[in-house]
Structure 1
């Protein structure tokens, strides 16, 4: 959970307007484990677990933990978590892991075939949602390409066929093959790696945040970048 601007102690305007955009020097870097994410380097594999059954829909009635509750390691009291809620949460987590592993198991070999060695992804968000997107891909020959160029090469490789054949996604008749691949590469793939690093629900809380991380396709690891530039897509930073 890298660069964070805490909003819990900020006084909101009386007219209910938005807070002014924070400056880059007002953000504080928090290593992912301090936020509740994984210890680095985060390792991933290409193994796909057996497909679990779909979880039954259950709506837990619990107050969400604040950012600082999570930083201090606080958890919901056990008494608030019923067996049905606990079972549903376990089933949802298993389903999410299966979906993520299936996606990674299809995407990583395809990227390696193109000579991709490393992905550099950025993320931002806060309050309601977190976002992640591909900044660039480093190839084994030392060149670096952007998300559009990578999407074009994957399209020429018939990458969408692989995604569809393995049940990762479905074809959208009104969207071109290249646009579907581009959406997968720019957003979905990086969001899954961001979740591995930062945890489920990253970017939700009384704060705004930004950062970047690298995905090494040889060592199958994800590492946060503690020196990431303040490049954002969904939040505003005052210059």
Structure 2
């Protein structure tokens, strides 16, 4: 799990700026302590049947007439509707994630990719993840830009569009759209599997890295990750 610096009991600078912790002030937290999953986190490429659209199960709210009359349903009355609303969104999120994996992972495998190494950081109610590098089956390690170039040549965007994962954006080049998918979407999905969908929420700063192994179908955190960040400052 991540390296974490707790901000809840520190003295903040008088100028209102964010404090910049040193790398040696971070503490590495095992998975259960941070709220994530037990490792290794396993994933598959199986896509479940598409569930009903989440919008078909609206969040239960009192009607305008009830609000005007000051009437509110009790927690017991609202509970089944709230549970159905959460279940619908959970099922849809699982479908979207699996559809994404089923489209992207085989394309990476065809290029000989065995592992992805992703980094993450965040805190103060934000979490970020991005691709660092990839390892091929022959042991060669390539950087993210080299991988993106290969994925563009391999027509990954066309595959994603055909599987309903995304669409083509005229304002973005194909290279930029594939890079955004790899950095901001695919790695973020794997980070959420490992850390929980709300990683970065709370009065803390975090950083870390993890390895996605396509042969084993696992996501494993790196307990020796270097203090590399893109969205939070760490003092050297």
- What is residue 235 of structure 2 aligned with on the other side? 238
Which of these residues, 191, 201, 204, is aligned with residue 204 of structure 1? 201
Cα deviation for residue 8 of structure 1 reads 1.2
In structure 2, C-alpha distance between the alignment counterparts of 1:177 and 1:6, rounded to whole Å: 40
- What is residue 53 of structure 1 aligned with on the other side? 52
In structure 2, C-alpha distance between the alignment counterparts of 1:5 and 1:85, rounded to whole Å: 35
- What is residue 8 of structure 2 aligned with on the other side? 8
Matched, 1:228 2:229: no
In structure 2, C-alpha distance between the alignment counterparts of 1:14 and 1:138, rounded to whole Å: 46
For each residue in 1:19-72, what CA deviation from the matched residue of structure 2 results, as whole angstroms up to 9, or x when unmatched?
A: 320001111100122211111111100100111112234389xxxxxxxxxxxx
CA RMSD of aligned residues (A): 1.9
In structure 1, C-alpha distance between the alignment counterparts of 2:18 and 2:167, rounded to whole Å: 40
- What is residue 145 of structure 1 aligned with on the other side? 142
Matched, 1:124 2:125: no
In structure 1, C-alpha distance between the alignment counterparts of 2:14 and 2:134, rounded to whole Å: 45
- What is residue 23 of structure 1 aligned with on the other side? 22
In structure 2, C-alpha distance between the alignment counterparts of 1:28 and 1:57, rounded to whole Å: 41
Q: Could you tell me the TM-score, scaled by structure 2's length?
A: 0.88
Conservation of the 8 A alpha-carbon contact between 2:23 and 2:235: yes
Q: Where do 5+ consecutive residues of structure 1 fail to align?
A: 61-77
- Secondary structure of 1:187's partner? helix
Conservation of the 8 A alpha-carbon contact between 2:12 and 2:19: no
Q: Could you tell me the TM-score, scaled by structure 1's length?
A: 0.87
Larger Rg: 2
For each residue in 1:156-209, what CA deviation from the matched residue of structure 2 results, as whole angstroms up to 9, or x when unmatched?
A: 111111000000001001211111111111221000000111111111111110
Aligned counterparts, 1:43-192, within 5 A: 43-55=42-54, 56-58=57-59, 82-192=79-189
Q: Where do 5+ consecutive residues of structure 2 fail to align?
A: 62-74
Cα deviation for residue 87 of structure 1 reads 1.9
Aligned residue pair count = 221
